Structure 1
Amino acid sequence: MLIQNHQVDLNTPTGIMRCYLYHPKDTAETAGKKFPAIILYSEIFQQTSPIRRSAQIMAGHGFIVIVPEVFHELNPIGTVLGYDDAGRDKGNADKVAKTLEAHDTDTQAMIDYAQTLPYYSGKIGAMGFCLGGGLAYRAAIHPAISATSCFYATDIHSGLTPSKPGNESLTRTSEIKGELQMIWGKQDPHIPPEGRAKVYANLVACNVNFTWHEVNGVHAFMRDEGDRYDAELQLWGYQTALGMFKRVLY
């Protein structure tokens, strides 16, 4: 399926948020069709080339994909941080500086925007990597989100919630009503076994509809740049996420 893309600047309570939109191209094949949407949350580096390629892959399978600049209020529009020490330090500082409530209003703005698109079917999911996995988990709390795929989601287990004491995303797990998919690398030092066990136990206790996948991979195995990339796991990861999104959102 051919795709096309454009940018849109959305108003949020914390400022203008640049979003990158990818969706099936208007052709004879797609004329008159409507498609479900996926909010794709990036790592701390915002929309890097690997994140753009992830969005293109998902859009090419029949989804409207919205990629927000997750730290839009803390950086000039269009900022992309490097996969280096400076980029990591800046991204981690931004992560601490931004509140969960600000991420919530970003999510609401994207859901509202999706509803204005004439080719939107009315169903929406969320997906993310690393920081974005945690943000997708957070988005799953929203009643409009019907399916969520979280890849090696950081901070859920550790309680990094600058706006409030404790782990608010974890304590609000019972509000997740859609289907949830959790994907982890067993050799990921950022989410150790005890951290994953905490998330798993909480999902069970809250009776969430979820699937759980632990693979032999390190952190960021989906990122097709750098020495942690695992092409075999990446293909499996996309197939696993697409399987759920097509089943639930279509």
Structure 2
Amino acid sequence: MIISNHQHDIKTATGVMRTYRYSPVESGSYPCIIFYSEIFQQTAPIARSAAILASHGFHVLVPEVFHELNPIGTVLAYDDAGKDKGNQDKWNKPLESHDSDTVALIEFAKALPNCTGNVGAMGVCIGGHLAYRAALNPNIKAAFCLYATDIHSDTLPAKAGNNSLERMSDIKGELHFIFGKQDPHVPVDGRIKIYQACQQTGINFQWQEVNAQHAFMRDEGERYDAALAIQMYQQAVALFQRKLV
């Protein structure tokens, strides 16, 4: 399916958020996926991932997740300086601001003239956490969370009682968790902690651990696993076609 891409500056509770939209060109009404990036924002690999999803018949929105902390259009490099800046942003933005961003994105999606109004979420790294976090909103029908960081460790700033793991029981949609067994950012004890919470809360979830390192979806760098990435896209598309279409 041929796609087009667009830029939108969406008003949020904490300022204007540049958001990139990838949509099918063919006329019709399509559901929407909010695709949350890594700490580096919309890099070339993230844009390619969004395009792959959109070509399966979805509107895909890629927000600048740290819009309050950077000039519009900021893309951080995959180097030490970019990693340091991205991590600083991660620790400086409270989860409540991510929540209000999600509200704005859902409202934007529902107002799109050729959108069905059904919305899902997907993300990688901190974006996996944000996709999980988005699922706390009852409008999110499904979330595909790839190597989601900081859920197990409770290291992102939030008000008392708003911890992501502690709020898991608020999730009503279907969640898919995918983790790499060789990922140092979410070690085995952290994965066990999340899995046990899933079992205890009784949410609708699927769980998968693969032999891969952190960022195995990113098609730049030595950690990329193309075979696994293809499987993940297929699984994500299957989830969203089942829950959103």
If the length of structure 2 is used for normalisation, what is the TM-score? 0.98
> AA paired with 2:85?
K
Match of 1:96 in 2: 91
Where in structure 2 are there 5+ consecutive unaligned residues?
Answer: none
The question of 1:153 aligning with 2:148 is answered yes
**Structure 1 unmatched ranges of 5 or more:** none
Is 1:238 the equivalent of 2:233? yes
Q: Write out per-residue CA displacement over residues 33-85 of structure 1, whole angstroms, 9 at most, x where no aligned residue.
A: 21000000000000000000000000000000000000000000000000000
**Equivalent AA in structure 1 for residue 58 of structure 2:** F
Instruction: Report sequence identity in percent.
Output: 61
Superposed CA deviations along residues 158-204 of structure 1, whole A, max 9, x for unmatched, are 00131335771101100100010000100101000110000001011
| 1:46–1:70 Cα contact (<8 Å) kept | yes
Q: CA RMSD in A?
A: 1.0
Q: Does 1:124 align with 2:122?
A: no
Cα distance between partner residues in 1 of 2:14 and 2:239: 32
Amino acid at match of 2:40: F
Q: Who is 1:204 aligned against?
A: 199
In the comparison of the two structures, how many residue pairs are matched? 245
Quote the Cα distance in structure 2 between the aligned partners of 1:190 and 1:58. Answer: 26
Give the one of 181, 188, 191 matched to 1:193. Answer: 188
Distance apart, 1:115 and its partner CA = 1.2
User: How many angstroms apart in 1 are the aligned matches of 2:168 and 2:158?
Assistant: 17
SS in 1 for 2:243: helix
- The answer to whether 1:42 aligns with 2:37 is yes
Query: Alpha-carbon deviations, 1:83-140, whole Å to 9, x = none?
Result: 0000000000000000000000100000001111111011100000000000000000
SS across alignment from 1:169: coil
- Measured in 1, the distance between the counterparts of 2:100 and 2:209 equals 31
**What is residue 23 of structure 1 aligned with on the other side?**
23
Who is 1:214 aligned against? Answer: 209
Moved runs in structure 1, 4+ residues, more than 4 A?
none
